A and B are shown apart, each in its own frame.
Chain A
Amino acid sequence: MLLLMQGLFWLIAGISAAPFVLGGEVFMAALSVATMLLALATLLVGIGVLWRRRRARGLAVALEVVCLFGSAVLLLLPIGFNGGPVSLMVNVALPIAVIILLRKSEAEAFS
C-alpha cells in the first residue's frame, strides 16, 4: 500500500510537470516522462512484493534506500528544501516504513 501511495505521488509529480513543458521547458519533458515511468515501476514493484517475489522486495528496498539517501542530502544541504510534516512523511517516514516492513519476515510483512 505504501508503494502504491508512493507511485501515485510520483505520478502526480510527473503530470504536474506537463504544463511547464507546454510553456517551453524542454528538459522538463524528459523528467516528466521519467517520473511517470518511475511511478509505473513503483506500482509494478508493489505488485511484485504482493506476489512475494524476492527480486521485487530487493528492488523496493533499493529504491527506498536511494530515496532516503536523496532526501537526507537535500535536507542537509542549505538549499531551502521543504522540511514540513508532509515532506518528512512522504520523503523520510514512508521510505523508512517500507524498508522496515520489507525487512521483516514474509509471514509478518503487511501485504
Chain B
Amino acid sequence: MFDIAPDHAVGLYAGLLALPFAVLALKFRHAAASRVPGTVLGASVLMATSGAIHLGLVWTHLEEGVTAVLFVLNGIAYLALSQLFTWRWWRPASAALIAGTLLGYLVYIVLGFDGPDQVAIATKLIELLALALVLVPVRGETSRRKLRWRTLGVAIPVLTVMTVAVVWIDALARPDERHAHAGALLQATNEVATPGQEAAAQKLYNDTSSAIAPYRDWRKAWADGYRPGGSQTMPSTHWMNQRYVDAGYVLDPRHPQGLVYANTKHGPQLLGAMFQMKRIGEFGPDPGGPVTAWHQHENICCTPLGFEFSLMTPTATCPLGAIAITTPAMLHVWIVDNPSGRFAVDFDEKLVRKIDQA
C-alpha cells in the first residue's frame, strides 16, 4: 500500500508529465476557459492527469487484456472530457465517469485483480477531488443548486471513506509475502533455511536465552538500565535500554537493546529479547536466514505520550499529535513457547493471558 508497484511507476511519470500539458491546453483555449469557473478548470486538469495515468498503465498491463482495454477506454474518456468542459452535459458525464472509475477500481481490489499501491491511491485522490470540483455549484449558477450540494455532501464523504476503507482492508487482509503483519516489513531472505542456518538460529536462541535469564527478575533489568516504554496496562511491554541502543551493539546476545515483558498480576514476566539496529533502513546480520529475518515497522503513528501507536491511514495521515515513523530493524527472540515461532514478529497475546492465569 505504501510502495509503488513496478508496473505502476510508469503511470506516475505519465501523470506528472501530463500535468503541465493539461494546464497549457487551458491556456491555448483561453476563450473557452475564460467562460467557465475555476472549479471546472481545476477538474479539467485533474481529469487530464488521471487520464494520462490510465493511458500510461496500458503498456505494463498488455498481458492483462481486459484491464488494458479498460485503461485505454478510461484514459481516452478522461482526456476527452477534460477538454469538453463547455459541453452542456459535461457535469453529469464527468461525474458518472469518475464515480464509475472509482467504484470499478474498488471492485477490482475486492476481487483481487489488483493490489493497492501509491500510484493507485494517488490517482483515486485526484479523481475524488475532480469529482468534488465537478459537482460543486459555483457562484451565479441557479439551476439544480440544492441538488448538487446534496449530491456533493453525500457522494464525496461516502466515496472517500469507502475508497480508503476498501484499500486499507485489502492491504491488511492480503499483505504481500514480505509484510508479516500490518506495517512490519520483513528482511528479504532465501525461502527455506539451510541446515547451517537452522544451526545458527539455534545457537542464537541458546546464547540469547541464557544471557537474558537473569532478567526474569525485572529488578535486575531495571538495575541494568532497561526501562518500560509506555503503558503497562497492555498485555506486554517493551523495556528498552537506551545505553545499548546508543552503543549500536549488533545482534549481541549479552546486550539486547530491548526486553519484552508480559504484564501479569504477578508483575512483569520475561517473554524474550529484542535486538534493534541503530539506523533506520538497515537490516542486521541474519545468521538463520528465513528463521531469523529482521523486520521493521513502517508508517506507524507513534504518540509522544508513551510507547503507543496506531497505523498510518492509506491517505498518509496520523491522529493529531502522533508522529509517522519507521522504526529501525528489529529481531525478537522469544524464550517462552510462542506458537508463531521463536523469532516471530509478534507474540500471541492469548499466551500472555494464559501466563497471567497460571
Contacts and interface: CB of A to CB of B under 8 A. Distances in A.
Interface of A: 1-2, 4-5, 8-10, 12-14, 16-17, 19-20, 23-28, 30-32, 34-35, 38, 74, 78-82, 84-87, 89-91, 108-111
A31 B125 contact: no
Contacts of A5: 125, 128-129, 132, 156, 160
A78 B280 contact: yes
B314 A86 contact: yes
A90 B303 contact: no
Interface in B39-63: 39, 42
20 contacts: A1-B132, A5-B160, A8-B160, A8-B161, A13-B319, A16-B310, A16-B311, A16-B313, A25-B234, A25-B308, A26-B233, A28-B322, A31-B303, A35-B320, A81-B323, A81-B326, A82-B324, A85-B12, A87-B316, A90-B317
A2 B132 CA distance: 9
A2 B42 CA distance: 12
B249 interface: no
Q: Is the interface of A mostly helix, strand, loop or mixed?
A: helix
A36 B120 CA distance: 26
Interface string B3-24: 1100000001000000000000
B293 interface: no
B122 A85 contact: yes
A76 to B, nearest CB: 13
B323 A79 contact: yes
Contacts of B280: 78-80
A91 to B, nearest CB: 6
Given A9-B317, A12-B317, A28 B303 contact: yes
Given A16-B313, A74-B323, A27 B156 contact: no
Contacts of B305: 27, 30
B71 to A, nearest CB: 19
B199 interface: no
Contact of A80 (B298, B306, B309, B317): B298
Which of B129, B315, B324, B326 has the most chain A CB atoms closer than 10 A to its own CB? B315
B262 interface: no
B118 A20 contact: no
Contacts of B157: 4, 8
Given A1-B136, A10-B320, A86 B234 contact: no
Closest CB pairs A-B (n = 8): A80-B326, A87-B316, A27-B305, A1-B132, A13-B317, A25-B308, A31-B319, A35-B320
